[in-house]
Every structure is written in C-alpha cells, then in structure tokens.
Amino acid sequence: LGDNLIRKYKTELLLESCIPAIELAYSSIENIAGAAMSREVRESLRSARQWMVATRNVGAIFKSKPYVNISEALYLPYDANAWYLHELGVAPLTAYSRPGHYRIFCEAAKLKIIFEEMEKLYGGDFSFQVGKLLNNWDVKNFCRKCETIK
C-alpha cells in the first residue's frame, strides 16, 4: 500500500506541480534575499528560472502528445545551460554573463518508444502507467533537451 501511494503522489506531483514548484523555489530565493541580492545575481537567477521552466515541464510531455514534437527557441542574458552542464561549484551563474541562445526540444523518437512500451506493459490507467514508468525510468529521460544555437 505504501509504495502505491508514493508512486501515485510522486506522479501527481511531477505531472501537476513541477513547474509551480520551480516557480515557488525561485520566487522564494528572491523574496528571502530581498534587497541584499545584487541586480546581477537577480538577473542570472531569472535566466536559470526560465531555463528550468523550459526544460523541466515533465507534465506537459505526458499530458500532451503534440508537445513532444514542439521545438522552441530560448534566449537568455546568462548562459544557464553552460552553467548547468559544468561541474557544480566550479563557478557561479554570474560568471556565465554571456547570452545563451538555445533550441529546446524533446527526443521525440525515444519518447514514442517509451510511451508505446508504457501502454503495452501497464494497461489503460494513465496514472498507473506514468507512476510505473517513473519508477523504472529516471525522470531526466522526460526532460526537454537544450541545444546551444551558434
């Protein structure tokens, strides 16, 4: 019973509350720091926030099949993707104060195979399907990819 509830609410959280949780976290950081946060740090955090929202909308991938095929451009004043890809703690985000131009997309072919497998293995109950899938696959497989545009 416990595992079923954890799987159910983990699934619900990722599908319905992932983006609001990201927004809340970044808003909280800005509110707590208040006036003590420099303009540069505030702007870099806003770039990180936009990058997170663009790449981590896991719920949309599961709830909207057309979303998987959408590619978007993202332009940020700070290169949040380069910062994310480097080792943690090497340099603060403010060190990446160059514009970042990206293509945000899903690995549609890979997701199609995963979703077909999900339907075959786990039946017709969407919440059960997604819960089992997220139990067996790393959630990073369902995050959108970010490719730098030169």
Q: What is the pLDDT of residues 100-130, one digit of tens each?
A: 999 999 999 999 999 888 889 888 888 888 8
- Write the burial class of residue 53 (CB in 10 Å: 0-12 exposed, 13-18 middle, 19+ buried): middle
Mean of the per-residue pLDDT values of the chain? 89
CA distances for 117 relative to 60, 102, 111, 130, angstroms: 19, 30, 10, 11
Helix (H, G, I), strand (E, B) or coil at 101: strand
Q: How confident is the model at residue 1 (pLDDT cuts 50, 70, 90)?
A: low
pLDDT band at 89 (very low <50, low <70, confident <90, very high): low
7-19: b (≥16 Cβ within 10 Å) or e: beeebeebbeebe
Select from 131, 128, 112 the least CA-distant residue to 61.
112
pLDDT for position 80: 95
First to last CA, the chain: 51
- Whether pLDDT at 44 is above 90: yes
Give pTM, 2 decimals: 0.87
Kindly give the residue spans of alpha helices, DSSP state H, lying in the chain: 2-16, 18-33, 39-55, 58-63, 80-85, 108-122, 126-136
Residues 59-83: pLDDT tens digits? 899 888 788 889 999 999 999 999 9
pLDDT confidence of 33, banded at 50, 70, 90? very high
Q: What is the mean pLDDT of residues 45-72?
A: 91
